[in-house]
Amino acid sequence: MPTYRDILTQTCELLEPYAKGRALEEGTDLLNHVGLDSIQAMEVLLAAEGRFDMSIPLNVLAEVRTVGDLAQQLQHLLERR
Amino acid sequence: MLDNLRAIAAARQALLNEDGVSPFGTVVEKVISTTEGILDGRRTILAGTNNYLGLTFDPVCIEAACTALRNEGTGTTGSRMANGTFAAHTALERELAAFFGRRDAMVFSTGYIANLGMLSALTGRDDVILIDADCHASIYDGCRLGTAEVIRFRHNNPEDLDIRLRRLGERTARTLIVVEGIYSMLGDRAPLAAIAALKRRYGAWLLVDEAHSFGVLGAHGRGLAEEAGVEDAVDFVVGTFSKSLGTIGGFSASDHPELDSLRYASRPYLFTASPSPSIVASARAALGLLQGRPELRKRLWENAHGLYERLRDLGFALGPEPSPIVAVMMATPEEGLACWRALLAQGVYVNLIVPPAAPNGGSLLRCSVGAAHTPEQIERIAGAFATLPRV
């Protein structure tokens, strides 16, 4: 099982194509700083699903605002698998 | 408070031109016929209305509506659970059940409400809903109103659906797969035979929203499930009266006896007023015409093929297959807006679709044709497209 730090690193990698050079950190706001729109958010989820070989329920998005929130949700789902 | 709305107001202002004509606030100043209206002061062909069988001005439907209006009044002023169920509502439900060859049917006040009412009440906390990523907003919103876990699969991709079903393990017995007969943006059909096979293999459930395919696909107009020969794999059919039947309202039909109990569990069914008598009457009349006049479907498809092929020959990038929804893809929202205005100036109204509803950051000029369009109108629509600059 990957650690939270591993997942955070991989989450940043997944977000990098959308960050347009902006720094990505644990507290970075996905909407206001990365500027993800709804379609891009879905693309990121699809990429994460492929990388971790799991389905991500849309319900978890309600709890996600920052890069760290997303990594945490991914960790919960990986643990539950 | 209101930050979202201020952002929307600014974005909308950017789309207005000097004369204030907006693609998202179009007013039909006068309705001339099923296929024509006055827009922006100009006689215009309506090529973006979903009026697939062209029944909005059918004398049989109008007469039925007028009779109901005179005899039963302008509205029911109540919910189906209280005073809002008239004999005609239950008659319409029986007629829909008979048409789809199902045990029972339920009528909702709109198609949007039908999806809200079905998806939120069919499933509970321990269930999973697997939806095609391109499903309509009403399906997404129905999922949000409920408590089930919601997972998307890639659009029209049975292999991806297979992977996600496999990941669910034993939970597939509590999983509802949701797809549409014809998708509203690109006009493409779901690969329903393959999806039905997966549903059977994994012991899941299947709901098909036939909003754009009811009256359009299948030898009898029952939709994609009929055309694909998999009606027995579909647990719940959902549809709307606001397209082929030319009025407003929604429904679900099913063989599962539990459908009747949904009437007591579905909040979007319980807590809104039932359809007005004139609406129910015209829906019943149109359902009769849908069955009695198969030539309407034939004309619809002649027009659909006609426009699709003309626009394809002109070199436009279109949706993947001919359908009554002909989606013309534009590279950018700005190009789409300029072309939408150019079409309107030539007396042709289509829908402009921008991101996120349009794919890949582009835009769509979404045409929809109906049985009531004449070959000359189809030619005029294609002729207006022919004048657009090609990128």
pLDDT score at A33:
85
A58–B contact, CB cutoff 8 A: yes
pLDDT at B18 over 60: no
Residue B129: closest CA among B114, B267, B141: B141
Confirm whether B199 is a catalytic residue: no
- B207 belongs to a structural domain: yes
Complex confidence, ipTM: 0.90
Q: Of B365 and B18, which is predicted with more confidence?
A: B365
CATH number of the structural domain spanning residue B202: 3.40.640.10
pLDDT score at A36:
85
pLDDT at B298 over 60: yes
Same domain, B151 and B180: yes
Instruction: Name the residue in chain B with its Cα closest to that of A81.
Output: B167
pLDDT at A26 over 70: yes
Q: In whole angstroms, what is the distance from residue B127 CA to residue B153 CA? A: 16
pLDDT at B240 over 60: yes
Q: Residue B355: CB partners within 8 Å, gap ≥ 6?
A: A37, A39, B333, B361, B362, B363
Count of domains in chain B? Answer: 2
Same domain, B176 and B269: yes
Give the domain extent around B27: 3-56+293-386
Across the interface, whether the CB atoms of B164 and A56 are under 8 A apart is answered no
CATH fold of A4-80, please? Answer: 1.10.1200
A31–B contact, CB cutoff 8 A: no
Q: CA torsion A45→A51→A55→A58, rounded to 10°?
A: -10
Same domain, B122 and B225: yes
Confidence of residue A48 (pLDDT cuts 50, 70, 90): very high
pLDDT score at B20:
64
Q: Which of A38, A46, A57 sits opposite B356 (nearest CB)?
A: A38
Across the interface, whether the CB atoms of B167 and A55 are under 8 A apart is answered yes
CATH number of the structural domain spanning residue B381: 3.90.1150.10
Give B360 to chain A, closest Cα distance, Å.
9
- The SS3 of residue B366 is strand
- B287 belongs to a structural domain: no
Across the interface, whether the CB atoms of B151 and A58 are under 8 A apart is answered yes
Same domain, B298 and B363: yes
Same domain, B234 and B184: yes
- B64 belongs to a structural domain: no
Contacts of A31 in chain B (CB under 8 A): none
Instruction: Name the residue in chain A with its Cα closest to that of B146.
Output: A59
Contacts of A54 in chain B (CB under 8 A): 167
The helix-helix angle for B375-386 and B295-313 (nearest 10°) equals 20
Same domain, B32 and B93: no
Among residues B249, B275, B301, the one where a domain terminates is B275
pLDDT at B17 over 70: no
B146-195 pLDDT tens trace: 999 999 999 999 999 999 999 999 999 999 999 999 999 999 999 999 99
Confidence of residue A13 (pLDDT cuts 50, 70, 90): very high
Same domain, B180 and B328: no
pLDDT score at B215:
98
Across the interface, whether the CB atoms of A57 and B154 are under 8 A apart is answered no
Contacts of A39 in chain B (CB under 8 A): 355-356
B306-319 pLDDT tens trace: 999 999 999 999 99
Same domain, B196 and B88: yes
Beta carbons within 10 angstroms of residue A19's beta carbon: 17
Candidates B123, B150, B165, partner chain A, best to mutate (most A CBs within 10 A): B150
Instruction: Name the residue in chain B with its Cα closest to that of A39.
Output: B356
- B165 belongs to a structural domain: yes
A59–B contact, CB cutoff 8 A: yes
Q: In whole angstroms, what is the distance from residue B245 CA to residue B327 CA? A: 22
Give B149 to chain A, closest Cα distance, Å.
6
Confirm whether B120 is a catalytic residue: no
Decide: B188 and B159 in contact? Cβ < 8 Å.
no
Residue A45: closest CA among A27, A60, A29: A60
* Mean local confidence (pLDDT), B6-22: 74
Beta carbons within 10 angstroms of residue A56's beta carbon: 19
pLDDT score at B361:
82
* Mean local confidence (pLDDT), B136-142: 97
Same domain, B135 and B227: yes
What residue segments make up the domains of chain A, in order of their start? 4-80
Confidence of residue A40 (pLDDT cuts 50, 70, 90): confident
